[in-house]
A = this chain, B = another copy of it.
Amino acid sequence: MDQRTEISSLGEFGLIEHLTKNVEIKNSSTLLSVGDDGAVIDHFGRQTVVSSDLLIEGIHFDLSYTPLKHLGYKSVVVNLSDIYAMNATPTQILLNIGFSNRYSLEALDEFYAGVYAACDTYHVDLIGGDTSSSQKGLIISVTAIGEVAPDSYVQRNGAQVNDLICVSGELGSAFLGLTLLEREKKIFEETGAQPNLEGQTNIVGRLLKPEARKDIIEFFSESEIIPTSMIDVSDGLSSDIMHICKQSNVGCVLHEDKFPFNPEAKEFAYKLQLDPTACALSGGEDYELLFTVAQADFEKVKANPAVSIIGYITPENEGKNLITRGGNKHALVAQGWNHIK
């Protein structure tokens, strides 16, 4: 990024034109995209799912170790993850962005390159939004819109006693990536030593460039599974299973020995004397899908190597519990990410 073009040289409308000039429409339901007061989506015979998130510099991300392109990608992905968590397919996003005069046009281009890369990967259209200056830092608000066959969307409130609790992928990795980056940042600030991220590409990648579990939604469709409840793991497994339990009026049992970990992440956790289980339960930003299915779907979910069965639903009065490797039972506590401190 050698060149620095002042954003003010384009003006707001010039900037919007610049940022959206290469957009191609991917969905036939996108009738009208960027450039008017609103966008138009055709959803005949389908239901629309929408979700919106705010990402604020210094709160949700640290630009000292987050490449802007990754940030653009992640800003989209975390919103798509919410749409998938409804068993829906994302189709469009709107992106609002506010930035201080510290940002050059080249910096914004980097950010948008990540946004468009995510749009390509997940086959969604950027159909609108707002650009603004900010007094301080970068502010990102993404609204994702998706579609779902009538009444096939999955809420948090449908878990039934004896349902299996399942999770996709691996847990705790993003938290370990954050721990590593925060550690290296501190070392750099104190000693000037360059970050050493060798052998840690998995956990760093999981934090900086997460993916949403589109494959799991496709698996549901192909296998004719409709989960009884679902949520994406953004706040930590403990907090997120508790959302399902609370809204479904049920309890749960989780088995520590069934938690899925990436071997590299696990090794790094031990190196830092961290308990991988604690990272899974209380870390955040894994963006895996946590869902419950009826026992009848056991064979189907077992056949998918990307899905781990980690527990089962109990009556509400039995509480929310973790069975440790040693066979002890502990009550779960909600301890996930909390962006309001």
- Tell me the A residues contacting B by CB distance below 8 Å: 7-8, 10-13, 15, 31-32, 35-45, 47-54, 56-60, 81-83, 85-86, 88, 92, 94-98, 127-137, 139, 141, 143-146, 148, 150, 153, 155-156, 230-232, 243, 247, 338-341
Q: Pick the contact of A98: B52, B95, B139 (CB < 8 A).
A: B139
Whether A54 contacts B96 by the Cβ 8 Å rule is yes
Chain B residues with CB under 8 Å of A135's CB are 56-59, 136-137
Whether A36 contacts B132 by the Cβ 8 Å rule is no
Copies in the complex: 2
Most buried by B among A57, A96, A136, A230: A96
Distance to closest chain B CB from A75 (angstroms): 12
Chain B residues with CB under 8 Å of A15's CB are 340
Add 14 more A-B contacts to A37-B83, A37-B156 (CB < 8 A).
Answer: A32-B153, A35-B156, A37-B231, A38-B83, A41-B47, A42-B48, A50-B127, A52-B129, A54-B96, A54-B130, A133-B341, A136-B136, A139-B139, A143-B143
Whether A50 contacts B41 by the Cβ 8 Å rule is yes
Whether B32 contacts A43 by the Cβ 8 Å rule is no
Whether B40 contacts A86 by the Cβ 8 Å rule is yes
Whether A38 contacts B50 by the Cβ 8 Å rule is yes
Residue of B whose beta carbon sits closest to that of A86:
B38
Whether A96 contacts B59 by the Cβ 8 Å rule is no
